[in-house]
Structure 1
Amino acid sequence: MNIHRSRFVDFTPHTITRLAFSHPSTKGSTPSDLRLAVGRNNGDIEIWNPRFGWFQEQILKGGKGRTIEGLAWSFWSNTSLRLFSIGGSSVITEWDLKTGMPLKNYDCNSGIIWFISVNKTNDKIAVGCDNGSVVLVDISGGPGVMEHDMVLQRQNSRVLSVDFNGDSQVVGGCADGKIRVWDISGDTNTRGRLVASMKVDKSTKRESTLVWSVLVLDKQNQIISGDSTGSLKIWDLKYFTLLQSFDSHKADILSLTCDLDQEKIFSAGVDRKIINFNLIANPNSNNKKQWVNSLSKLYHSNDIRSLTSFESKGLSLLVSGGVDRQIAINSIKFFNANIYRKLPITTQYQNNLIRNSQNRLIIMWQDQTVKIWKLFNDADIMVETLTSEQPKKNYKLVSKLALSEEENISDVAVSSKGDYLAVAYLSNIKIFKLNYDESQQTMKVFKLKYLSSKLENVGARIVTFSSDGSSLVIVDSENDIMKINIVDYEQNSQEDEDEGSLDTVMYELPDIVDMDSKLGHAGNIKDFKISDDDKVIAVSRHYGALDLIFIDDNGGSDVVELARLSTSISAIEFTKRNTLIAITVENKIYEFNIRRQMEIDEDNDEDDDAKNTSQSVLDTNASNSNLLLTNWSKKNSENLPNQLLNLKNKCVGIFPDLKDTSRIWFWGADWICFINLNANLQNKKNRSSLKRKHDGLSIYQEGNDLENEEVTLENFSNTMSESSKLENNQLVVTNNTDTNENKSVPFWFTNKYNSILFTGNFETNDLLVVERPVSSLASSKAFKTNHIAF
């Protein structure tokens, strides 16, 4: 088996600009709808679910020239969650979490907005503007409703940060080194008036000190401020006097947060450090407490732009992110214990890299750009690449499309023959013809103008070609599934008189069952796959639903509710043995038989345990009850190895082996494995077997500690990754003969690859592993910290 280990794909995640949890901290249990919103400087907003070791659930797409500079969540009548953002303009955007598109854009007409905050009663938004105004916006009318309330008394300096003191005051940090307090109570005589002003220390430089962050501690009746001198100050909220000051940071403090009891403060900024301040008893007074600088940690290699926190019963989270693009998760409660985790930069809600197996193409897209590489299948070039002093690359960038759309690309698909390319946005779809010239090693790309014009009002979140390449199947922002015939339109020109509509077929999915969720995207389609014969489409949804669409020869369809799993599904894929594989966010694997009529003799020999397993997984009210788990799944889905179940990083993709029809490959950000569906996973007691460790950095369902012992594994070519060495980010190909191919190895696993962006195989069954290590990312110069280097 040839393994192509590549690091030349230049996917680069964007800087994290803002973080926000959907719920405030609570002493009760963790809300089932708790989410983390992550804003990036390309305008994208990622929605992360902290359950089962964290996984990315959705991406709200931005656009050219856009950025996210502030995020805020609110509740409406305790029935739905609302997400607001700002970004370098005077507009507040409320997002529709179901469609991924803006629900409402509200122009404050008061200058560029620097900061956004929502009050605790979830009926008001305060935004600080660069013209010195703080604008109050009423959001009590429900989703999509933002109405002007008032403009607070204006002053002459930019308002860089704002926070509410209950429903009575707004506190703002300004660019002239002052902290201002406005009254917003019901008293008509003073409402909107400035009631206090506090000045921080002046910078040693000529410019004014910038108060980047303010935090109101209502339980302590205090205001915390962080400014451009690196100074953290504590102010009395009643008398507006300075209580304490710490010159804790060597550069600007950009973000502040606190714990539930408001007895721990965390600050971070340009000097990369996160500093913890604790409130302790004052030894000189029995009734007073004072803040002390407890300790600092260094988890990031560049500026920290944002901090946010959440605490509940059994959960304590401190999340940070910034210029180094990585999300770091710490524990508030055990910050001094160095319990933390960094989420991989290559974990994506949807893969933004695909490959064409037949023509050995790698296609990557980001923002408004699509790049296509060609991998050559020439043994002489491979040898020369590894041995020559001036190696000839065995890959080439054959096309780069810089598209003119304002939106960021939502998805890309390539036909099986490598002759069509579809680029999807939420508002339209563009179709291109690909012609590769072998002799010149170049690719010509032509836009199919007529077909693209027909699709200019047809947007898509997910897009793929049928197996024969004649049709395009899409999922739009409303979760409608549409099949579009494209071959008949290829030869048409824009000037053709034929103005007829597209040849399309719509597929209806079963109605969404009642879900106890305040998130609009819980019922969204997560993934869909088309079988090799184009007769079956498998569809998975976020809340665990798995449906099949059977397509007959006349174009008609029949939809079957296959399963309703208890957790979200990470990935699905058809196998070469007429089954469907699904893996959940718990890394549980299920195999479903997709035949309309199952062989009774084969499936009736299951034992009682297997019957119980199938009943626990499948909805007994499914419309077609003969679509059950396969025999392998009945015996092994609850018997998976701990090495797989205990993985923190979720499965990103599945693909079948092209030579061994029983072998299925799975991969995540830092691991690759395969399972042989012809072999049972036999358990063997092992004292070293470990349960999943609950470190307090994620949410796990009660009673889901895993007791399974490790399976006994046969040797499987451990040289697979050890022999693949990279030099100067070249693509390296090694040959590993699988000496155990015929020995029915039940399970094989490796974690010797890092920051995996994509794993798949070519038509020759060569394995492709694309990595994008953090160390290879371009980065701006970081603040220099003595004795510490990254």
Structure 2
Amino acid sequence: MDIHRCRFVKYAAQSINALAFSHTSCPKEKTPTDVRLAVGRQNGDVEIWNPANGLWVQETILKGRTESTIEHLEWSRDLIVEENAGGSKISHGSQRLFSSSGSKQLLEWDICSGSAKRQVEGNSGDIWCFAAQPQLEHPRDTKDLESGTYSPLLAAGCSNGTVVLFSTEDDDLKYLRPLLAPPAKKPKVLSIAWRDRNTIIAGYEDSTIRVIEVSTRKIIRNMSLGKGADGNDPVVWAVKCLPNGTIVSGDSSGQLKIWNAKNFTLLQTLKSHSADILDLAVNANGDRIFSLGADQRTFSYHHSGSKQLGWVEEYHRRYHRHDVKCAATFESRELSVLVSGGEDCRPIVLPIRKVHSELHRNLSHLPQRSLISASPSSRLFMSWWDNGIMIYQVNKPRNPGEQNFDFDGPTPSSYETLAQLVIQGDENIQDAQMSADGQFIVAATINSVRLFQLRKTQATGRPCLRTRQVELPPAIVRSGARRTGFSPDGKWLYTIRKDNTIALNKVVLSREPKDGPTIHEKTVKLYRVSRKQPISSLGTYPQTITHVAFSSDSRVLAVGDLSGAIDTWVLEGHEDVDYVEAASDNSDNSSDSSSDDDEEEDESPVIHAQKWIRNPSGSQLPQLDSSLLALSFRPSDHPSISNPVDGNRGLHATRHTAHPVAHELPSSNIRLVAITATHQLTEFDVLASRLSDWSRRNPSEYLPHAFTRIKDRVVGCFWDCTDPETHGERLWLYGSSWLLMLDVSQDLQEQNSNPTSTDVSLTKPKVASLGGYEVLDPVESKSPAVTNSHAHKKRKRNTGAGDAIPEYHRPSGMCSTIRKFKNDRADVDMVDMDGADVAEEQDTDMFDDENGDDSLALMRREENTQMQLSTQPPDTNGDSQASKPRPTHWCTFAYRAILGVGVIGPPPTDPADLETRKRGPVEVVIVERDVYDVPKGSRFAGQEWDTHLPGKAPWETRQIPDVDT
């Protein structure tokens, strides 16, 4: 495989301005399955992360508008009280997400549709901060309340010193009233927090903290910070309240101040930061405070238990490479993390409960989904972000052995920047894709869809592109889309709308080269089968479609969502562009009217004698364990039968069928590969609606260790099936920092050459290759006798951050285990001191080291091995011809910050040449965008501790040696 490693794509990673968890901390309860983290970026995007089991999967991105930003995020949830004969029944409504952008508007997001739901102005200047009123959590709080819905208020601090209230009653967002008139000098309100449901703490620009009572709309106390060391008034950037009511503030002088909860006097001042404290965070118990600031440091303080000592500094670290602007905490029985973010664009996850025994973790600053789309036929690839699309051409590498190669001449460029497209309007691009033949580009925003045609030309001796916008039906344009793209043959344009409706439109090419393409007037709408889903506070958000895949012949369509459910449709009939449509086929299906999920498939329109129907197998594919990260069909070398030479293949009109349509379905060998957030790989036989034979023989326990235990999740995948007889069928998976090959033409784990042997000594399987060394799995290399005689102990789950720190790497005095002697003999037990109260309650998860032997899979493998041994011809030496088997997998960590991977070659094989199977190696372009290449703003003066990294070449082309050699 030839790899073009490029770093010239100038993807602009955005800084993190706001963080917010959807649920409040509950240290003694299990982690809710619907807890999410919202990450607000400088360009107005909001990322939704799922921290379940410490995997940290970026599920969706709510796209903002151009020249907008996210300055603050808050989640809220309504409380519903119902009176019945048995007493009051309390329940909670759906989660609601709000944001501010430093303007006068307060915005509510619809996470189910991915768009802005509503916005309202405060009528009091720009909103600098806001906070949600604490919820009524306990039944005793509702004893005097009547039946109804109780929604929290939103308190916002404005640039003119006014504090205003917003109402969220009746699933709405309205401006309620000003809570407090601005002071005389009208200082900005820079930070705000609710102490309880009736008290607000606000930090001002004039170095004053004001305590406001909501019911009386009066100031209870003014707390002054005094003059700073430089003689200037410090600015109160952050205020927080501990569970016992204690007030904590951080200011521009770098001082952390603790204020009394009753008389609001200053208890303690801690001077640790050398620059502004920009945000504060507290744990659930209120015995630990975190401060983060412009000096890039994160400080942790804990209460000593003594009134004289008070709060003391526990530790400080420098996790970020620039200003740290925001932080959020969440604790449960399984998770206990602090997430911070800032100008370096990377979320950092820190452990709270096991801070001295676990490492921190850096999440990727790049999106979880690839922003690269490529054309193998034309060697083009494109990248997109915000509202722009860049198109590049990769030139073929020149061979130095060529006769006319000029060694003294200038080095030719390996790539060309051909065109740049900017989508008009103020909306950012939701999705964009290039067709496989490089003729079209489709780009979708949340409220519009645009289609462009590409034509290669020459200008001043250099290649360039001419673009022409193709007119789409108004129903497609105004519906918008969250996902869009083309089928492999380029004939079908799909869009996934905000309501998760799948719309398909036929692209009709003109027979005259000068005439542009057209879009068929009919729109095919496909609706998913309703499934019984668990009740979630996120509403229909888990049913959001995130992945779309077409089979290689473009006749099978599959979609997958965040819940792990997959739906499939097939295209029946043979294409006939001269097909005369009957009057019954002309039903108008292009309107935007919604339809029930049980809509009859007969209502799907017939287009060019073809019709999309639901998978006729009569059953659904089983729902997977978690959200989908990749969905792809295994390529097929069979030529497509969608373009028959003889039209309808012998069908003739009769008196009852004036316009006959063939009902022939695709071939039965259609296999779909799905990878989930837990790195479980499953392959389905789509038309049979069951697991494929390969997937039944290779359960998830047999996947390579390097894949199942890596923390960076899958971003995408591609196939290499150019030479299946020699190299097999290779599925390449990649994440933000790794690349992995799986040969799915053979079983992943090799058994003994003699399956009937009773020898228990097995060959140790290789699970990874790093730097020329083979990494072996000590668990799976044990003999079956040992494996079956002793049950594996549960692997302790981390608290959501990094792995456990080895004992020999921990600081002195920080050992997490002690010895417990049972008697006078040498029998001892090692007692875990970190989280000993929750270790016994943790459930087994996907990381538990269990016995991975599948008796049914082993039995099938033994049968296949015996058949191969009996049918494989020996060579002249009496040995098997397969003396050196192909590796089942291969992994590398040589790449950093992969933005995406696109396949640019070889071009598709002509069906007439399928017998020769002479194709060149697969060519891919790997686009890297390291965090060190991200432009950063000005730094705090006097802090130059970062070493300068040497520059990297913006382009590198090299060839990966074949793994078989």
Contact preservation (8 Å) 1:153, 1:194: no
Partner of 2:771: none
Question: Which residue of the partner structure matches residue 465 of structure 1?
Answer: 486
The alignment partner of 2:67 has SS state of coil
Residue 341 to residue 692, structure 1, CA distance change in 2 (3 Å) = farther
**1:240: which partner in 2?**
264
Task: State which of 475, 486, 489 in structure 1 corresponds to 2:507.
Answer: 486
In structure 2, the CA distance between the partners of 1:756 and 1:689, relative to structure 1 (3 Å rule), is farther
CA distance in 1, matches of 2:484, 2:680: 26
Q: Can you list the C-alpha shifts for 1:269-293, whole angstroms capped at 9, x where unaligned?
A: 1111001111112275xxxx71112
**Tell me, what secondary structure is at the counterpart of 1:141?**
helix
Alignment of 1:104-503 (within 5 A): 104-121=118-135, 123-142=152-171, 144-155=172-183, 156-185=186-215, 191-203=216-228, 208-219=233-244, 221-282=245-306, 284=308, 290-337=310-357, 339-348=359-368, 350-380=369-399, 391-437=411-457, 440-448=461-469, 450-451=471-472, 455-487=476-508, 502-503=521-522
Unpaired runs of at least 5, structure 2:
80-91, 136-150, 574-608, 637-669, 751-762, 765-775, 781-793, 803-841, 854-881, 907-921, 948-965
- Taking the TM superposition and a 5 Å limit, the aligned residue runs for 1:607-686 are 626-638=688-700, 639-661=702-724, 662-682=729-749
Number of residue pairs the alignment of both structures matches? 718
Return 432-441 or 156-165, whichever deviates more: 432-441
Whether the 8 Å CA contact 2:551–2:635 is kept in 1: the answer is no
Alignment of 1:519 onto 2:538: yes
**1:565-591 C-alpha deviation (Å, 9 max, x unpaired):** 121111110112431111111111111
The alignment partner of 1:457 has SS state of helix
The separation in 2 between residues aligned to 1:585 and 1:693, in whole angstroms, is 20
3-state SS in 1 of match to 2:416: strand
TM-superposed CA distance for 1:302, in Å, is 0.3
Could you tell me how far 1:245 is from its partner in structure 2?
A: 0.8
Provide the rounded CA distance (Å) in 1 between the counterparts of 2:511 and 2:166: 50
SS at match of 1:392: coil
Question: Could you say if the C-alpha distance between residues 501 and 358 of structure 1 is closer, same or farther in structure 2, counting changes exceeding 3 Å?
Answer: closer
Q: Deviations 1:632-685 (Å, cap 9, x if unpaired)?
A: 100112321222111111111121113145221111111111212221122655
Structure-2 separation of matches of 1:388 and 1:67: 50
Q: How does 1:578-589 map to 2 (within 5 A)?
A: 578-589=670-681
Query: Aligned residues: percent identity?
Result: 30
Query: Could you list the per-position Cα deviations for residues 111-146 of structure 1 after superposition, in whole angstroms to 9, with x for gaps in the alignment?
Result: 10011111211511111100111111222323x344
SS at match of 2:317: strand
Q: Which runs of 5+ in 1 are unaligned?
A: 186-190, 597-625, 712-739
Partner residue, 2:36: 35
- Structure 1 residues 388 and 236, CA gap change in structure 2 (3 angstroms): farther
Is the deviation greater in 679-688 or in 304-313? 679-688
Deviation at 1:493, TM superposition (A): 13
* Residue in 2 that maps onto 1:81: 95
Classify 1:406/1:490 alpha carbon distance in 2 versus 1 (closer, same or farther; 3 Å).
farther
Aligned partner (choices 620, 630, 642) of residue 571 of structure 1 = 630
Q: Distance in 1 between matches of 2:357 and 2:405?
A: 47
Query: Are the equivalent residues in 2 in contact too, given 1:664–1:674 (CA < 8 A)?
Result: yes
Partner of 2:888: 746
Q: Structure 2 counterpart of 1:171, which letter?
A: I
Q: Is the 8 A contact 1:66 1:87 kept in 2?
A: yes
Please give the secondary structure, in 1, of the residue aligned with 2:696.
helix
Which residue of structure 1 lines up, in the alignment, with residue 600 of structure 2?
none
Query: For residue 648 of structure 1, what is the amino acid of its counterpart?
Result: K
2:785 corresponds to:
none
User: Aligned in 2, Cα 1:152/1:788: closer, same or farther, shift over 3 Å?
Assistant: same
Task: Identify the residue that residue 727 of structure 1 maps to in structure 2.
Answer: none
C-alpha distance in 2, partners of 1:115/1:395?
46
Distance 1:405 1:382, change over 3 A: farther
Distance in 2 (alpha carbons) for counterparts of 1:386 and 1:37:
55
Checking the alignment, whether the CA contact within 8 Å between 2:119 and 2:173 is kept in structure 1 is no
Matched AA of 1:571? A
Find the aligned partners of 2:938 and 2:381 in 1 and give their Cα distance.
31
CA contact (8 A) 2:297 2:318 kept: yes
The answer on whether the counterparts of 2:377 and 2:437 sit within 8 Å (CA) in structure 1 is yes
1:136 and 1:149 in contact (8 A); partners too: yes
1:410-466 deviations in whole A, cap 9, x for unaligned? 011111211111111111011111112267433333332533867431301100112
Paired letter, 1:559: R
- Which stretch has the larger CA shift, 485-494 or 552-561? 485-494
Question: Is residue 372–residue 901 contact of structure 2 (8 Å, CA) maintained in 1?
Answer: no
Letter in structure 2 aligned against 1:211: V
Kindly provide the amino acid, as one letter, of the partner of residue 306 in structure 2: N
Distance across 2 between alignment mates of 1:692 and 1:387 = 58
Q: How far does the alpha carbon of each residue in 1:276-335 deviate from its partner, in whole angstroms, 9 at most, with x for none?
A: 111112275xxxx71112211100000001011111113210000000000000011233
Counterpart code for 2:481? A
Q: Is the 8 A contact 1:17 1:305 kept in 2?
A: yes
Q: TM-score, normalised by structure 1?
A: 0.85
One-letter code of the match for 2:483? I
> RMSD over aligned Cα, in angstroms?
3.0
Distance 1:675 1:579 in 2: 16
Is 1:23 aligned with 2:23? yes
Task: Measure the CA separation in 1 of the matches of 2:844 and 2:409.
Answer: 58
Residues 361, 801 of structure 2: 8 Å contact kept: no
CA distance in 1, matches of 2:211, 2:342: 29
CA–CA distance in 2 between the matches of 1:386 and 1:202? 71
Which of 736, 747, 755 in structure 1 is aligned with 2:897? 755
Residues of 2 paired with 1:364 and 1:586: CA distance?
28
Match of 1:592 in 2: 684
* In structure 1, distance between residues paired with 2:319 and 2:407: 39
- Asked whether 1:694 is paired with 2:761, we answer no
Residues 199/469 of structure 1: CA separation in 2 closer, same or farther (3 Å cut): same
| Equivalent of 2:612 in 536, 557, 565 | 557
Contact 2:295 2:943 in 1 (8 A): no
**Deviation at residue 47 of structure 1 after TM alignment:** 0.3
What is the TM-score when the length of structure 2 is the normalising length? 0.70
Post-superposition shift, 1:697? 1.6
SS at match of 1:326: coil
The answer to whether the Cα contact below 8 Å between 1:381 and 1:394 also exists between their aligned partners in 2 is no
Give, in angstroms, the shift of residue 234 of structure 1: 0.8
